[in-house]
Amino acid sequence: MNEFELIRTYFARQPVQRADVVLGIGDDAAILAPPLGKQVCVTTDVMVSGVHFLPDADPVALGHKALAVNLSDLAAMGAEPAWFTLNLTLPEVKATWLEQFCQGLFALACQYNVQLVGGNTSRGPLAIAIEAQGFVPEGRALLRSGARVGDRVYVTGELGDAGLALQHELGKGRLPDAVFEAIADKLHRPTPRIPEGMALRDIAHSAIDISDGLLSDLGHILEASHVGARLFLANIPVSLAYRDHIKETGWDLALTNGDDYELCFTVPEKNTVALEKLQFPCGFHCIGQIEQMHGLRITDESGKPYRPRQTGHDHFAEKIE
């Protein structure tokens, strides 16, 4: 199968058809018609075999995750996803691998009505790069730089399960099979918090998605906003599976492990009533407060300062009291 047959077979006949795609796959470039009054948010992420996933990783999950991590970045901006492009580098053309990859990719694309409008296909070490675009009403994107002293700090969903599942896969902490199966999707098929990000546009001052770990990612908000924060360990939301293993695992996976793809956001006191009215299926929890004093302070269950063993962010480690 040559490059053009491959594109025609797997990528050109894709299921989402949006009216704002004037010209999709097939020409030298796509032509897109963004709606009036909206700004276009653009993001890209690459996943490289041997770096971000094992060469024998499930292709269905890879297709899902390659798009999900990009949609998660759009969610963190409060954007509504619209289009994406796919740059695929493959060592060889394997029909079953490509079919399964497309199955995972397009199932998620359908879920959020985001259309594949172009890309590039080349031979080489396996790597998947996606660029995604979405819309925000003019001037209303959620930025890292918007946090203000007095804001409450929140996270969606629960933290740490992706880290727990990864530890299990790396043989560092065995979980019972049923427990691993219950949390494996958090690692391999993360859910981008798209409706949550869009709903937070009018309520949150700032937002980020948790791809590198809560402390590191919240650290980016603090730095961009020139503020500090206090977190309460007892308020960090973790799953029942995580709680069951907390004696061995401790809090650090939930605080410092990446791959959770939840949103961390800050909300001014005056908007907390509106926030409480929002119905997120994944839920959300207040985990702390933005303070004037720079750096991040964590209080444990007994009111004492808590210092994580690692932060995943060296620069950040110096700032913990």
Choose the one of ligand ADP, Mg ion, none that binds residue 118, judging by a C-beta under 5 to 8 angstroms depending on kind: ligand ADP
Report the 10 Å Cβ neighbour count for 41.
Answer: 20
Residues forming contacts to Mg ion in the complex (CB under 5 A) are 28
Q: Which of 153, 274, 133 is nearest to 206 (CA)?
A: 153
What is the side-by-side order of every strand in the sheet holding 284-291?
206-209, 263-267, 152-156, 284-291, 228-232, 295-299
Choose the one of Mg ion, ligand ADP, none that binds residue 248, judging by a C-beta under 5 to 8 angstroms depending on kind: none
Shortest Cβ 93–Mg ion spacing (Å): 21
Q: Per CB under 6 A, does 128 bind ligand ADP?
A: no
3-state secondary structure 245-269: CHHHHCCHHHHHCCCCCCEEEEECH
Choose the one of Mg ion, ligand ADP, none that binds residue 109, judging by a C-beta under 5 to 8 angstroms depending on kind: none
Choose the one of ligand ADP, Mg ion, none that binds residue 7, judging by a C-beta under 5 to 8 angstroms depending on kind: ligand ADP
Of residues 18 and 319, the one with the C-beta less far from ligand ADP: 18
Q: Which stretch binds ligand ADP (CB under 6 A): 25-33, 164-172, 280-288, 294-302?
A: 25-33
Q: Per CB under 6 A, does 25 bind ligand ADP?
A: yes
Q: Per CB under 6 A, does 113 bind ligand ADP?
A: no
Q: Per CB under 6 A, does 86 bind ligand ADP?
A: yes
3-state helix, strand, coil split of the chain in percent (to 5) is 35, 25, 35
Candidate list 21, 68, 76, 88; residue touching ligand ADP; CB under 6 A? 88
Candidate list 13, 17, 28, 92; residue touching ligand ADP; CB under 6 A? 28
Sign of the Cα torsion 26, 126, 189, 212 reads: negative
Q: Which of 294, 300, 292, 302 is nearest to 320 (CA)?
A: 294
Candidate list 26, 35, 281, 305; residue touching ligand ADP; CB under 6 A? 26
Choose the one of ligand ADP, Mg ion, none that binds residue 272, judging by a C-beta under 5 to 8 angstroms depending on kind: none
Candidate list 78, 104, 118, 192; residue touching ligand ADP; CB under 6 A? 118
DSSP structure string for 100-135: HHHHHHHHHHHHTT-EEEEEEEEESS-EEEEEEEEE
Strand partners, 122: 89
Q: Per CB under 6 A, does 7 bind ligand ADP?
A: yes
- Tell me the two tokens of residue 176: 């019972």
Instruction: Determine the residue type at 295.
Output: G
- Point out which residues bind ligand ADP (CB under 6 A): 7, 11, 25-28, 86, 88, 116, 118-121
